[in-house]
Structure 1
Amino acid sequence: MDRKQLTWENETLSDAEGTVWATVRADVLNVKESQLAAAQERILLEHSVDSGSQRFWVRGTATTGKTLHVAQQGVTVSHMQAKCLDREYTLDRPNPFRRERRIRDAEGNEVLRTRPTFKGVLEIFDIAAENVPDIDVAFLTYCCLLVDAPRRLRG
């Protein structure tokens, strides 16, 4: 599968050809079977969105019982840290006046970029690392959708 550009729109992560990679329904992230995920994975999501919390965080629990986390570091959401199973990432806004993000792995290599649109769509591009599992791509970018593209409907 070509992961050069993906898009979150209407709770669906798809590529330029329209192939669906992941969906979110009732706070469950469903990652489809692909070359990096041997079987479909379901992740139960909990998050601080609409909870009144002053800090942004998302926690996911996979069907294996292992967890994934994203949380802001500091006063703003400009810098966030993530742990997907045993893999660590940073999710940073390079410009404090824009909502674009650069996602880096634990070694500091940029693996993804995200850019929200005014329509509540999140574009994912410059997917450089083929060794980033689909579950990580789906979870990390969905977290970016929650915090950076807030015009989407929640519920």
Structure 2
Amino acid sequence: MHEREGIWTWSGNDLIDQQGGIVASVISDVIYLGEERLLIESSPGPWHFRARATTGEGEVYTLIQNSLSVARLSADCVGRRYTLERTSPWRKERRILDASGAPCAVVTPRVSGKVEVSDAVDYAPLPLIDAVFLSWGCVLVDSPVRRPRV
């Protein structure tokens, strides 16, 4: 990912880098990433998951379930397309793949409720804002424990 090394972790509603600094936070369905704000709307229904984020400039990010299961999700980040697929039918870990199928990152939910984000081996670049939105989408759909903060 751009501007990132090592493992980052979603702990509650904060994305924390390897040094313990807060990269992004989610408060009242808004992702705060530096000066950027993304308003999040999600519908985690029993048959269909969908998340959408809109920036202050009107740019749209979407993450959707295309089949009966959430094993494979499709994303569009302002025209940049990704697939988020589970690495195994028995695990919630996901690989984020770019439009060419190259791996960009791995997102791993933990039993504690924390969600780790790490670079894939021989990873393709992933813009920071895309990484934050996509990994938060994984928190919404895959995390065993979710602690929303209002």
Q: TM > 0.5 between the two?
A: yes
Residue in 1 aligned with 2:13? Answer: 11
Mapped pair 1:146 → 2:148: no
State how far apart, in whole Å, the 2-side matches of 1:154 and 1:11 are: 7
Number of residues of Structure 1 aligned to a counterpart in Structure 2: 145
Residue in 2 aligned with 1:36? Answer: none
Mapped pair 1:108 → 2:110: no
Higher RCO, 1 or 2 (CA under 8 Å, sep at least 6)? 2
SS at match of 1:140: helix
**What is the root-mean-square deviation in Å for CA atoms of aligned residues?**
1.4
SS at match of 1:118: coil
The percent of aligned pairs where both chains have the same amino acid is: 37
SS at match of 1:147: helix
Residue in 2 aligned with 1:76? Answer: 69
Residue in 2 aligned with 1:37? Answer: none
Residue pair 1:47, 1:57 contacting (<8 A) in 2 also? yes
Q: Deviations over 1:21-49 (max 9, x none)?
A: 110000001112xxxxxxx2100000013
TM-score (norm 1): 0.88
Structure 2 unaligned segments of length 5 or more: list them: none
State how far apart, in whole Å, the 1-side matches of 2:96 and 2:8 are: 14
State how far apart, in whole Å, the 1-side matches of 2:89 and 2:41 are: 26
Superposition map of 1:1-155 within 5 A: 1-32=3-34, 40-49=35-44, 52=45, 54-127=47-120, 128-129=123-124, 131-154=125-148
